Amino acid sequence: MEKDSKIYLAGHRGMVGAAIWRVLKKKGYSNLIGRTSKELDLRNQKAVFDFIKSEKPDVVIDAAARVGGILANNNYPFQFLMENMQIQNNLIDAAHKLDVKKFIFLGSSCIYPKLAPQPLKEEYLLTDSLEPTNEWYAIAKITGVKACQAIRKQFGKDFVSLMPTNLYGTHDNFDLETSHVLPAMIRKFHEAKENNNSAVTLWGSGTPMREFLFVDDMAASVVFALENELPEYLYNVGTGIDITIKELAETIQKKVGHTGEIVWDSSKPDGTPRKLMDITKMHDLGWKHQVELEEGIEKTYQWFLTNNDSFKQVKM
């Protein structure tokens, strides 16, 4: 991939997109294109097609999505299903019809069955039922994976899908209504510390196990996929290491400096019991994560402190 290749990064202002943009710039890529949602509505098929036709990018990276945790997925199933399908289908279809050379699609580990064997291998896709609390988002992402696979199979084009584990990092979403577990914990523990170290109530039992990948490592995997022609259509991206939610909470509590009580609300859902990615395929190709969890939490918390005043409630 030439450093002046034209790269359109959809979702360049989101947590993942912003990290990819930073890493690409750092590596010397000079011809990056980004559009805000106000400038280009990715749900609008004609607008997306006209944009790709006009700009003629060599590469499209799809880091755009409607995302959220268990609560948001439960409360807004139609939006999570429909808007994600609209965004990715418009980008994939336009990239194919207008002969974009390379397409990188970003999904999520939630595409795999709820009770699939651990760690999760790429071949477990569509072998059993999904986790009900986020099946709407998962189904949308599965259709994106399959669309890229179909184009690859039928037309031989370099369309590849990367499935990250749970991501976190700078520019994360700290809105308690829509955020994922790690940033939500950072905010809860911080606000409890500020409130005389009051007790923090967390969802579930604390026993589920989760794997977490710092967003800059995810960005590095995208650049790896950009600079190499990956031989298969689907790759897991993660650390290959997981911890319990209880251990995560205690680690964040320590980093934040909260000394109050943790209360586990077992009336709330746990989600999938365990979700660890098998990352053998990416390791065999030469990619590996660099940032360990404690370092990543520290970086994320420092970013949170710097930007705490700017957070607003996200309207659905």
12 is in an annotated binding site: yes
Other beta carbons within 10 Å of 140 = 24
Q: Which of 137, 168, 233, 301 is catalytic?
A: 137
- Tell me which residue has tokens 């106000």: 38
179 is in an annotated binding site: no
Q: How far is CA 300 from CA 77, 170, 232, in A?
A: 29, 5, 33
Q: Which residues in the chain land under pLDDT 50?
A: 313-316
Is it true that the peptide bond before 208 is cis, omega within 30 degrees of 0?
A: no
Give ∠ CA 173-140-124 in degrees, rounded to 5: 100
User: How far is residue 291's CA from residue 68's CA, in Å, rounded to a whole number?
Assistant: 23
pLDDT (tens digit per residue) in 176-227? 877 789 999 999 999 999 999 999 999 999 999 999 999 999 999 999 999 9
- Work out whether strand 166-168 and strand 212-214 pair parallel, antiparallel, or are unpaired: parallel
pLDDT at 131: 87
34 φ, ψ (degrees, to nearest 5): -140, 150
Are 226 and 235 in contact by the 8 Å Cβ rule? The answer is no
Are 163 and 237 in contact by the 8 Å Cβ rule? The answer is yes
pLDDT at 314: 40
Return the SS3 of 249. helix
SS3 annotation, 259-301: CCCEEEECCCCCCCCEECECCHHHHHHCCCCCCCHHHHHHHHH
User: Given phi > 0 = left and psi -120 to 50 = alpha, else beta, which region is 126?
Assistant: left
Return the SS3 of 305. helix
pLDDT at 311: 64
Count of CA atoms in the C-beta half-sphere (13 A) of 39: 9
User: Given phi > 0 = left and psi -120 to 50 = alpha, else beta, which region is 53?
Assistant: alpha
Question: Which amino acid type is present at position 69?
Answer: G
- Of 72, 57, 44, 1, the residue nearest 222 (C-alpha): 1
Give the chain's domains with CATH numbers.
7-310 (3.40.50.720)
pLDDT at 122: 98
Q: Tokens for 33?
A: 């294109």
Task: Confirm whether 301 is a catalytic residue.
Answer: no
171 is in an annotated binding site: no
User: How far is residue 180's CA from residue 67's CA, in Å, rounded to a whole number?
Assistant: 9
pLDDT at 312: 53
Read out DSSP for 115-166? T--SSBPGGGTTSSPPPGGGHHHHHHHHHHHHHHHHHHHHH--EEEEEEE-E
280 is in an annotated binding site: no
E strand or H helix at 26: helix 15-26
238 is in an annotated binding site: no
